[in-house]
Amino acid sequence: MKINLISDTVTKPSPGMLEAMRSADVGDDVFKADPSVNKLEAKVAALFNKEAALYFPSGTMTNQTAIKLHTKPGDQLICDKYAHVYNYEGGGVSFNSGVSCKLIDGHRGMMTSDQVEEGINPPDFYHSPLTSLVCVENTTNKGGGACWDFSELERIKNVCEKHGLAYHLDGARIWNALVEKGESAKQYGELFDTISVCLSKGLGCPVGSVLVGSEESIERALRIRKILGGGMRQSGYLAAAGIYALDNHIERLSEDHKKAGEIGLLLESLPFIKKVEPLETNIIIFEIDENYLSAEDFIAKLEDKEIYIIGMGQGKLRMVTHMDYTDDMHEILQKTLRTL
Ligand SMILES: *Cc1c(COP(=O)(O)O)cnc(C)c1O
């Protein structure tokens, strides 16, 4: 049995999801005439209590569109040094928006409001780029699935208001944070100008992300999505998967978190593991004690047993639990790790 823990994006649609997709009512979404896409957008907007939403083919495109919305070429955005928008979107910040990043040396992908305030360039000092946007990520990907303390996000919001900065949330895994912390989507909607959410990570859809914001910003986002080539036609087949996932796959994320916690505890007890980062959601980041074996050898040994994980660089390894990681696989993984 192949056990794939490389990412929570490796899932395949469940029978229920496939049935929802097959029976979707569709139209041409470029003409805004796809009832399933319209329904998904209305549903996500309502969930976050925002005026409007727009469906996208990827989380990268939602983030890039949000950055384009809130900045002008030459501007600077503030984000943590681990941020997905900086590290994993192909340099799109500069390619698409002509914007640079002020990187904050935060903790597990999270910054403090003081760090954000210190990162703002004085607007009257015309030699430095104009700061116009703050981007945060919840849960943090490279930070090991860490969840923000909501009050810190509120303090950053105050800093944004004081300095006239836009505030964007990369909520690719916001669902994991909501479930883990017992928070509501609405409280996030209230705080941020725009939020991007992924349907193709823990929620198990084959494709799709959504951007929420004001009526005015989503209208502008529609034009940007067009420019980026993100307009799709009968995308209701995909949106139907999103609607199904929102109705059926959010609460179950706690199972992924429980399994990840158990793997983390087991790893900590093994002699060849040097360090396991604190576990909050479904991402396990850990380091091998290279006196025993190298990270590459560890990955290869697991591969021999048809277990697949990924290296994050600097000797860090990552496993991510997800919908298709079953109880049986969980047993096999634990047994394999104990006897490695
Ligand atoms: C996955 C991810 C995205 C979007 O990625 P796509 O692969 O383009 O859908 C954005 N931000 C974070 C934190 C992510 O983990």
Q: Are residues 98 and 189 in the same domain?
A: yes
- Is the confidence at residue 233, as pLDDT, over 90? yes
Give the pLDDT confidence score for residue 115 in this predicted structure: 98
Q: Are residues 180 and 328 in the same domain?
A: no
Give the pLDDT confidence score for residue 285 in this predicted structure: 97
Give the pLDDT confidence score for residue 119 in this predicted structure: 98
Q: Are residues 296 and 243 in the same domain?
A: no
The enclosing domain of 288 has a CATH number of 3.90.1150.10
Tokens of 287: 């380091």
Distance 223 CA to ligand 1 centre (A): 21
193-202 residue pLDDT tens = 999 999 999 9
The enclosing domain of 130 has a CATH number of 3.40.640.10
Task: Give the chain's domain count.
Answer: 2
For the CA of 58, the closest atom of ligand 1 is 9
Q: Are residues 235 and 278 in the same domain?
A: no
85-121 residue pLDDT tens = 999 999 999 999 999 999 999 999 999 999 999 999 9
Q: Are residues 67 and 182 in the same domain?
A: yes
What's the CA gap between 182 and 257, in Å, rounded? 13
Average pLDDT, the chain: 97
- Is the confidence at residue 313, as pLDDT, over 90? no
Is the Cβ atom of 225 under 6 angstroms away from ligand 1?
no
Residue finishing a domain among 248, 279, 307: 248
Q: Are residues 64 and 183 in the same domain?
A: yes
pLDDT band at residue 340 using 50, 70 and 90 as cut-offs: confident
- Residue from 84, 86, 169 to probe ligand 1 pocket by mutation (most atoms less than 8 Å from CB): 84
Q: Are residues 223 and 265 in the same domain?
A: no
- Residue from 170, 175, 205, 285 to probe ligand 1 pocket by mutation (most atoms less than 8 Å from CB): 170
Distance 59 CA to ligand 1 centre (A): 5
Q: Are residues 201 and 271 in the same domain?
A: no
Q: Are residues 212 and 242 in the same domain?
A: yes
Distance 172 CA to ligand 1 centre (A): 6
Q: What stretches of the chain adopt beta strand conformation (E)?
A: 3-4, 52-56, 76-80, 100-104, 131-137, 166-171, 194-198, 209-213, 273-276, 283-288, 307-308, 310-313, 316-320
Residue finishing a domain among 248, 270, 303: 248
Residue 316 domain boundaries: 3-9+252-339
Is the Cβ atom of 59 under 6 angstroms away from ligand 1?
yes
- Residue 4 contacts residue 320 (beta carbons within 8 Å): no
Q: Are residues 148 and 270 in the same domain?
A: no
Give the pLDDT confidence score for residue 314 in this predicted structure: 82
- Is the confidence at residue 153, as pLDDT, over 90? yes
Give the pLDDT confidence score for residue 312 in this predicted structure: 87
Average pLDDT estimate for 243-248? 98
Q: Are residues 272 and 294 in the same domain?
A: yes
For the CA of 61, the closest atom of ligand 1 is 8
Is the Cβ atom of 85 under 6 angstroms away from ligand 1?
no
Nearest CA to ligand 1 atom 14: 172
- Residue from 201, 205, 285 to probe ligand 1 pocket by mutation (most atoms less than 8 Å from CB): 201
Q: Are residues 258 and 323 in the same domain?
A: yes
Quickly tell me which residue has 């209590």 as its tokens: 49
- Is the confidence at residue 328, as pLDDT, over 90? yes
CA-based nearest residue to 254, from 201, 187, 181, 328:
181
- Is the confidence at residue 64, as pLDDT, over 90? yes
Residue finishing a domain among 219, 248, 277: 248
Is the Cβ atom of 92 under 6 angstroms away from ligand 1?
no
